[in-house]
Structure 1
């Protein structure tokens, strides 16, 4: 086995970031977690950071507002993985990564950068509707900066986080499955792709030293988890031994409802529209600039949708 990379995780206390840290440590990588000196009194984040330290991670101070701190952090590692959230959409938080790109370029030692993506592939969403397209536009800006700087990269397209989609039977605003009713988005037939969050982290760490994923997009498409909303609901009905009362939300009604919501909700719900009304996740083939994770790493036993749903019984 070759020498393990030294890995820096930016955003390591976040929803996906904390799993990336755990997976990196599990694979035996020397793992650094960047944390902001202005953490203040956020006790939960502090305790998480200390738990990482107990597990063998190295904590390193750094901030997007302090260029030198980023350069100093980057110089200590081989691989940088950024998992910052794009939730604060009006502030274009994803674009903060441009500061990280500058630091990586100046440091000159990084052999792989994985920017914060982990969802829908922005290269496939050039025709996305407003205001949801802001997410993809910002990620494309970051991609261009990475490639213009000749920084080696891997982009990870993880599709639908199981916790947010499977738990609620693909219904916006739901994270636990109902025992009684469900609303189909349209006819419920377009295929989507669901990935357990811990599996996302495992596949990501597998890819960082893999020459097959260098300067490519890694698509997480576990074949048994490519399912329509109707199929997800059917699995749940089989588990609970009863049929749910079903209703349908037309595309027109869905978009009308979206227009009446605040900006952040509109962004998220237009993504739902593309996924469940248009089937944008599974309606294209992976080209020569991409690889599929479950094919590259068949040794990873990924969590099936049925297994994920069993935890709610």
Structure 2
């Protein structure tokens, strides 16, 4: 059996970073996590860092240096880190997308990285028809689509946080993939030649549902009919313009997906540039929408 690649994950405390770390070490990959030195003394982060250490994850410190402009990647530290691994996965947050060009520069100088997966856990930036402010965000992401970059796409819409379907009114959400499942599919690609220079589409068949199907499913589980509020496109566009960050980003993406119809399920996958995760990895047991809603009924679980 070929030796497994050494994986460096950057952005381990961001949106999906910790799940990538966990999926990597569970799959028995030599796993390295980039950690700011200040995280070890941060009460909110120290527990996570200790959990990484106890799991056998190698921590790499001093990725950042402080300047008058804030925290930026330190090039020499990045290059040193790159030389210890084979694969780099970025999980930086939305406000750090452009920082990934610094990661790419370090990868080029190190010269030994065989695969880079940027923080592209979202919609297909080459197909999306999106309004501002998300449009500017996606233009940056599109520039990261260099030939050797493997982009992983998933669909998870709706506000983050501790909201769950409950009560007699509902904010309509679409939950297509849990973060743990996104991470599992991501790590599957690391040493798979079929995904090199490809876009991996995460569209599990059981989780391709319309709003109406999800609402009907939830109503059956709770045994009652929910009051539904509808909004016209012009009012949605006005709400996007008036909403603060990050709600304006969330709403503009929702406009693209559910008004303009920019969804992977609406497009055929071009085999020359893309692949479907469900076809490549049928052994992955993902959480279905039905199963997830069962958890919400039982315990009002936090929506991921």
Q: Normalising by the residue count of structure 2, what TM-score does the alignment of the two structures yield?
A: 0.89
Give the whole-Å Cα distance in 1 for the aligned partners of 2:247 and 2:30.
38
Give the whole-Å Cα distance in 1 for the aligned partners of 2:279 and 2:73.
40
Give the whole-Å Cα distance in 1 for the aligned partners of 2:269 and 2:127.
11
Give the whole-Å Cα distance in 2 for the aligned partners of 1:244 and 1:12.
38
Q: Are 1:274 and 2:239 matched, yes or no?
A: no
Q: 1:177 aligns with which of 162, 165, 173?
A: 165
Aligned to 1:245: 227
1:48 to partner: Cα distance: 0.8
Partner-residue secondary structure (3-state), 1:303: coil
Indicate conservation of the 8 Å contact 1:85/1:94, yes or no: yes
Give the whole-Å Cα distance in 2 for the aligned partners of 1:174 and 1:44.
17
1:173 to partner: Cα distance: 8.3
Once superposed, what is the RMSD of the aligned Cα atoms?
A: 2.0
Q: 1:261 aligns with which of 231, 238, 243?
A: 243
Give the whole-Å Cα distance in 2 for the aligned partners of 1:51 and 1:174.
23
**Would the alpha carbon gap of residues 212 and 82 (structure 1) be closer, same or farther in structure 2, given more than 3 Å must change?**
same
Indicate conservation of the 8 Å contact 1:184/1:249, yes or no: no
1:39 to partner: Cα distance: 3.5
Give the whole-Å Cα distance in 2 for the aligned partners of 1:23 and 1:248.
39
Give the whole-Å Cα distance in 1 for the aligned partners of 2:10 and 2:295.
30
Q: For residues 166-205 of structure 1, what are the structure 2 equivalents within 5 Å?
A: 175-182=163-170, 194-205=176-187
Q: 1:111 aligns with which of 110, 114, 117?
A: 114
1:179 to partner: Cα distance: 3.1
Q: How many residues align?
A: 287
Aligned to 2:79: 71
Give the whole-Å Cα distance in 1 for the aligned partners of 2:151 and 2:33.
20
Gaps of 5+ in 1: 186-191
Partner-residue secondary structure (3-state), 1:180: coil
1:56 to partner: Cα distance: 0.6
Aligned to 1:97: 100
Aligned to 1:82: 90
**What is the CA deviation profile of residues 192-241 of structure 1, one whole-angstrom value per residue up to 9, with x for unaligned ones?**
77112111000000011100000000000101101111111111111111
Aligned to 2:126: 123
**Would the alpha carbon gap of residues 297 and 216 (structure 1) be closer, same or farther in structure 2, given more than 3 Å must change?**
same
**Would the alpha carbon gap of residues 47 and 197 (structure 1) be closer, same or farther in structure 2, given more than 3 Å must change?**
same
Gaps of 5+ in 2: 65-71, 298-304
Q: Normalising by the residue count of structure 1, what TM-score does the alignment of the two structures yield?
A: 0.86
Indicate conservation of the 8 Å contact 1:154/1:218, yes or no: yes
Partner-residue secondary structure (3-state), 2:290: helix
Indicate conservation of the 8 Å contact 2:172/2:215, yes or no: no
Q: Larger % of strand: which?
A: 1
Aligned to 2:302: none
**Would the alpha carbon gap of residues 12 and 183 (structure 1) be closer, same or farther in structure 2, given more than 3 Å must change?**
closer
- Greater shift, 108-117 or 278-287, is seen at 278-287
Q: Are 1:295 and 2:291 matched, yes or no?
A: no
**Would the alpha carbon gap of residues 250 and 183 (structure 1) be closer, same or farther in structure 2, given more than 3 Å must change?**
farther
Indicate conservation of the 8 Å contact 1:10/1:17, yes or no: yes
